[in-house]
């Protein structure tokens, strides 16, 4: 009943503001279907050609026979790829399919089918391996989230008033963030051309931390200390979070973390994009909204790994709009469409050491800011998973973090944080598992707003 009433209220608000709300400024007036289709095909052909003629991989020797076999519903099977391949490389590839249409004049929703179509084509005709449902979902859903974020960031990086070296540097950086969009800027003749910034009115708050951290592992068998390592973290807040909008990803948060760990340099990629945000109640001092978010999570560090695609319904609140002490909160729940959870009893194939399954999620976040000088943040994320591929099992995952930050002159800050991942696994054929992964980190930060 609550979801139905929220949906009805959302429809009413959308109808009331349809005339006044401006369209997405990042949608150009002309659509280029054939160019977009050709770019999607190139995104398929380049990796296939590399696999076929450079690596000379047997799985790249596709034929009408292999395609015909893969088109049969009975051919689908979960694969054995490594965690990085399934949870990051495939979503990144899906971002190219999505961006082929997004950067050729199509809206977010009009570009969504391209991610699914590109993923399906690759699964059935890009290799001889049996098509994998995990690849299809990760490539499509992760590709949509990463594609929209990189498309918006690439456009935000370019100042239409800039000239010379500064402008060329912006164009090159934007090309690296979203290569397909950069190529289309060259084709369209907008690369380096004077003109208004398409999204100059949309704010982007950026913070970069550099410091040290340590992960540990605590299980029923005892505690294993980690080792000290360097890390870097980039955090982005795009758009007005407390502003109602029906334009997908007009507000999103993104986080990328890298470090000198012993298992991977890319440790975290998180995206939380609002598919829609609607007012619930607003007064002189408080503002409450609810939002449906699309989320992509990738964690891989020296102690722990986890990946998921999910959707959440959130209540977000600004409790003290006109005060020096700001209090922001979020609470929500939703569906984990597909999660990859570590399984200590599983290892086979290329390096598959995790179970796949859907689940439910809960999230909560609270931020206190005093005069934009002191900031305290506490976050919780939990999930309950049921394995559909892997060992017969179910999991409960809880993540709790707490961070403190003090702003210094000239946009610098000092930050410290601690937290832990807590994983409990219930197995039918093995002993249950209960493990905690505590961590501690310190950093010097720099902010651009």
CB 293 within 8 A of CB 272: yes
DSSP code of residue 405: E
DSSP code of residue 201: T
The yes-or-no verdict on residue 380 having pLDDT over 80 is: yes
Instruction: Report the predicted TM-score, pTM, of the whole model to 2 decimal places.
Output: 0.91
Q: What is the pLDDT of residues 139-191, one digit of tens each?
A: 999 999 999 999 999 999 998 888 889 999 999 999 999 999 999 999 988 89
* CA proximity to 301, closest of 362, 404, 214, 391: 214
Question: Which carries the bigger pLDDT value, residue 148 or residue 224?
Answer: 148
Sign, CA dihedral 326-245-143-352, equals positive
Strand residue runs (E) in 169-228? 204-215, 217-219, 222-224
Q: What is the pLDDT of residues 228-252, one digit of tens each?
A: 889 999 999 999 999 999 999 999 9
User: Quick one: what percent of the chain has pLDDT higher than 70?
Assistant: 91
| Run of H or E including 148 | helix 143-156
**Which domains are delineated in the chain?**
26-188 (no CATH), 204-448 (2.40.160)
* CA proximity to 180, closest of 111, 95, 118, 106: 95
* Winning range, highest mean pLDDT, from 7-11, 26-30, 261-265: 26-30
Q: How distant, in Å, are the alpha carbons of 373, 399, 406, 413 from that of 409?
A: 10, 32, 10, 8
> With 0-12 CB in 10 A as exposed, 13-18 as middle and 19+ as buried, what is 33?
exposed
- To the nearest 10 degrees (0 to 180), the angle between helices 33-49 and 90-102 is 160
The 3-state DSSP class for residue 322 equals: coil
Cα 221 → chain centroid? 34
CB 100 within 8 A of CB 40: yes
CB 119 within 8 A of CB 97: yes
Q: How distant, in Å, are the alpha carbons of 51, 70, 130 from that of 66?
A: 16, 6, 9
Question: In the structure encoding, which two tokens stand for residue 287, read together?
Answer: 């503002």
The yes-or-no verdict on residue 88 having pLDDT over 70 is: yes
Q: What Rg, from alpha-carbon coordinates, does the chain have?
A: 23
- As a whole number of angstroms, the distance between CA 142 and CA 95 comes to 7
The 3-state DSSP class for residue 357 equals: strand
Task: Give me the pLDDT at residue 10, please.
Answer: 46
The yes-or-no verdict on residue 361 having pLDDT over 90 is: yes
CB 308 within 8 A of CB 331: no
Q: What is the pLDDT of residues 40-63, one digit of tens each?
A: 999 999 999 999 999 999 999 999
Mean pLDDT of 323-350: 94
| Run of H or E including 175 | helix 164-177
Task: Give me the pLDDT at residue 325, please.
Answer: 93
């Amino acid at each position: 009943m609550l979801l139905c009433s929220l949906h009805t209220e959302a429809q009413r608000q959308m109808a009331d503001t349809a005339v006044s709300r401006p369209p997405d400024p990042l949608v150009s007036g002309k659509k280029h279907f054939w160019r977009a289709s050709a770019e999607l095909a190139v995104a398929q052909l380049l990796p296939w050609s590399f696999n076929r003629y450079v690596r000379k991989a047997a799985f790249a020797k596709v034929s009408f026979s292999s395609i015909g076999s893969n088109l049969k519903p009975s051919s689908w099977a979960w694969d054995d790829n490594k965690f990085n391949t399934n949870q990051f490389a495939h979503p990144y590839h899906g971002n190219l399919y999505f961006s082929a249409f997004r950067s050729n004049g199509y809206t977010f929703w009009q570009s969504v089918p391209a991610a699914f179509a590109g993923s399906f084509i690759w699964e059935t005709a890009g290799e001889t391996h049996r098509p994998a449902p995990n690849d299809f979902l990760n490539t499509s859903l992760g590709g949509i989230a990463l594609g929209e974020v990189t498309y918006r960031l690439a456009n935000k990086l370019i100042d239409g008033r800039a000239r010379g070296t500064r402008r060329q540097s912006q164009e090159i950086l934007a090309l690296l963030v979203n290569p397909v969009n950069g190529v289309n800027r060259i084709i369209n003749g907008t690369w380096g051309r004077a003109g208004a910034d398409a999204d100059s009115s949309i704010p982007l708050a950026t913070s970069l931390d550099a410091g040290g951290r340590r992960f540990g592992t605590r299980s029923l068998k005892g505690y294993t200390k980690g080792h000290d390592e360097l890390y870097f973290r980039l955090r982005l807040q795009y758009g007005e979070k407390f502003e109602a909008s029906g334009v997908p990803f007009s507000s999103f948060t993104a986080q990328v973390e890298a470090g000198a760990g012993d298992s991977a340099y890319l440790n975290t990629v998180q995206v939380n994009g609002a598919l829609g945000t609607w007012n619930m109640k607003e007064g002189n001092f408080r503002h409450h909204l609810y939002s449906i978010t699309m989320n992509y999570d990738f964690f891989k560090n020296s102690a722990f790994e986890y990946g998921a695609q999910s959707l959440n319904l959130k209540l977000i609140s600004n409790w003290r709009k006109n005060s020096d002490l700001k209090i922001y909160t979020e609470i929500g729940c939703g569906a984990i469409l597909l999660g990859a959870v570590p399984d200590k009893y599983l290892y086979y194939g290329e390096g598959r050491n995790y179970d796949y399954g859907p689940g439910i999620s809960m999230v909560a976040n609270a931020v206190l800011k005093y005069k934009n000088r002191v900031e305290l943040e506490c976050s919780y994320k939990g999930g309950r998973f049921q394995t559909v591929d892997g060992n017969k099992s179910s999991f409960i995952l809880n993540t709790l973090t707490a961070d403190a930050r003090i702003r210094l002159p000239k946009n610098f800050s000092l930050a410290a944080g601690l937290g832990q991942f807590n994983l409990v696994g219930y197995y039918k054929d093995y002993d249950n598992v209960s493990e905690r992964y505590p961590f501690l980190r310190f950093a010097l930060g720099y902010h651009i707003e």
